Structure 1
Amino acid sequence: MASTHRLRGQHILVTGATDGIGALTADALARAGSIVYPHGRNAEKVERTVASLRAHGGAAIAPRGFVADLASLEETARLAREVPQLDVLINNAGIGTGGSRGVRETSRDGHELRFAVNYLAPFLLTRNLIAQGRAPKVVINVSSIGQEEIDFDDPMLERGYSGSSAYCRSKLAQILFTFDLAETHPTIKTHALHPGTYLDTNMVRGANIRPLGPARDGADATLFVLNHALENGPSGQYFNQQHLARPLDQAYDRTARKQLRSLSERLTAPYLLRAPAP
């Protein structure tokens, strides 16, 4: 595991912290002395996670957890209002391909569900924290090596839908957002990472895929990338676990990043707070 001394005393929100990689990440951070705020969409699971962090975190105390369904822009915006000043935001929560069902699903706001949860929610949460004058020092986006180019003529995959494409496009969108945020807000250190391939999580097992590695590998990768950010190195990088890597070319296309930013601002407009350009 990466060095943990930089993590002591950091106030960190981990989304999707009640299960899988998120739960292991939150636990490792608490053990390292971070003040961890776990997020989940189930209040009972969030309460259990808070209790676990308090038991295992030593001197670090999780003051409270936060409940929000990231399939709702309204609840995501509320989460941004409720969380305290953060040092670090880890956008970890996400949903998988949906397995073999192949059924197109939509969020509460009518957006393609994987795009909404995996990408639009982190976009709105991060941007609203910035607009409220409470930008974290570091933003880590847990993405994937599974990537597919975004078709801006059909961003919601209303034609030729597949759960795999929806997932892969949402994950590339996270990386485009990471690179765009690094460029537009240089005071925030931001990185994206692939935590590991088919790790032993409910998401993987729910897709009827045999896990290829322990979920702990994903938590270790997340902490590695967070430590890298806290070392004050370059911002706007993508990691394949604990190694610098190159995502699909579209991530480097400034025109595509601007298109995605404009689309995201339009889709989240009822809840997106505006702030002066940095």
Structure 2
Amino acid sequence: MRTVVISGASSGIGEATAARFHRAGDHVVNLDVRPPRPGSAVRWVPADVADWSATEQALADVHQERGRIDVVIANAGISVRHGVLDISEADARRVCDVNLLGVLGLWRAAARHMVRQGEGVLLATASVNGLRGYPFYADYNATKAGVVALCRTFALELSPHIRTACVSPGAVLTPMQEAEYTGDMLDEVNRRIPAGRHAAPEEIADAFFYLASPEARFLTGQELVIDGGETAGATTSAFGTATPSREPVMS
């Protein structure tokens, strides 16, 4: 039984990923500022990934209890839909603290345990937003590009014993997506995806499960894009032109 730690697993992609590993018999720990939905079989540890000391303590507690940490998935993320002229310093710093520095802090803390045990897998949720320019998400886009850079750097420094990889989803029908987009905006996005639809969170979860498996043992420092062909044509998706909302939402 592996010990798997996932940040931001109380909803969306994280919740689906936690459920996927749990079904396989793994011991899964959810680090999230919010509690999971009632009935969740996954252990919840309240933690804000922007707080490195809290993250380190949470992982230390898990390691002391379980004796090892096999897989860590840095999934926690937030976004605020706003134009570049309207971004506030507070919003931008919070997005960076959670989406980028939160990954770095969690991976750093996990890697210290994995180096001592001689093996481990570090995974993270990036985004196709880090590959292309998408309006209204400048700070979010920059953090996701940064996650890919972290993935490559950790792979170079920690191979061969520790593997790293990130998944870059395109449009996924999560609570975060539904909170930011109207029905018409979701339809517009679907028309720009060759597959004709958003991904389900479970499809991203399956990718994480594969990346953590022995079948992916020669894969490290890589970005796996799962977008239904959205970026295949090298076109920029505007994701609608509606006036941006400044309300922050959690993944």
User: What TM-score do you get using the length of structure 2 for normalisation?
Assistant: 0.71
The answer to whether the Cα contact below 8 Å between 2:17 and 2:208 also exists between their aligned partners in 1 is yes
Let me know the Cα RMSD of the aligned residues.
Answer: 2.8
Q: Is contact 1:86–1:135 with CA below 8 Å preserved after alignment?
A: no
Could you tell me which of 67, 78, 83 is aligned with 2:57? 78
**What is the aligned partner in structure 2 of residue 35 from structure 1?**
27
Higher strand share: 2
Residue 78 of structure 2 aligns to a residue in which SS?
coil
The amino acid that maps onto 1:189 is R
Q: Which residue pairs with 1:233 in the alignment?
A: 218
Q: Which has the higher contact order (CA 8 A, sep 6+)?
A: 2
Q: Would the alpha carbon gap of residues 202 and 134 (structure 1) be closer, same or farther in structure 2, given more than 3 Å must change? A: farther
Q: Secondary structure at the match of 1:192?
A: strand
Residues 198, 140 of structure 1: alpha-carbon distance in 2 compared, 3 angstrom cutoff: same
Q: Provide runs of 4+ in structure 1 moved above 6 Å.
A: none
1:103 matched to which residue of 2?
Answer: 87
Once the 2 structures are TM-superposed, how far is the Cα of residue 242 of structure 1 from its aligned partner? 9.1
Secondary structure, aligned partner of 2:29? strand
* AA matched with 2:44: G
Matches within 5 A, 1:246-265: none
Alignment correspondent of 1:15:
7
* C-alpha contact (below 8 Å) 1:129/1:135 kept by paired residues: no
User: In the TM superposition, what is the alpha-carbon distance from 1:126 to its structure 2 partner?
Assistant: 1.5
Whether the 8 Å contact between 2:174 and 2:201 is mirrored in structure 1 is yes
CA shift, 1:100, in A, is: 3.8
- In the aligned structure 1, how far is the partner of 2:100 from the partner of 2:119? 18
2:245 matched residue in structure 1: none
Indicate the percent of aligned positions where both proteins have the same amino acid: 23
Asked if residue 130 in structure 1 is aligned to residue 122 in structure 2, the reply is no
Structure 2 contact 55–109 (Cα < 8 Å) conserved: no
Question: Which residue, 78, 94, 115 being the options, matches 1:113?
Answer: 94
Residue 192 (str. 1) matches residue 159 (str. 2) = no
Whole-angstrom CA distance in 1 between matches of 2:110 and 2:208: 21
Q: Which runs of 5+ in 1 are unaligned?
A: 1-8, 54-61, 150-161, 247-278
Aligned length: 205
Alpha-carbon distance change, 10 to 170 in structure 1, aligned in 2, over 3 angstroms: same
**Structure 1 length normalisation: TM-score?**
0.65
Alpha-carbon distance between aligned partners in 2 of 1:104 and 1:237, rounded to the nearest angstrom? 33
2:129 matches 1:146: yes
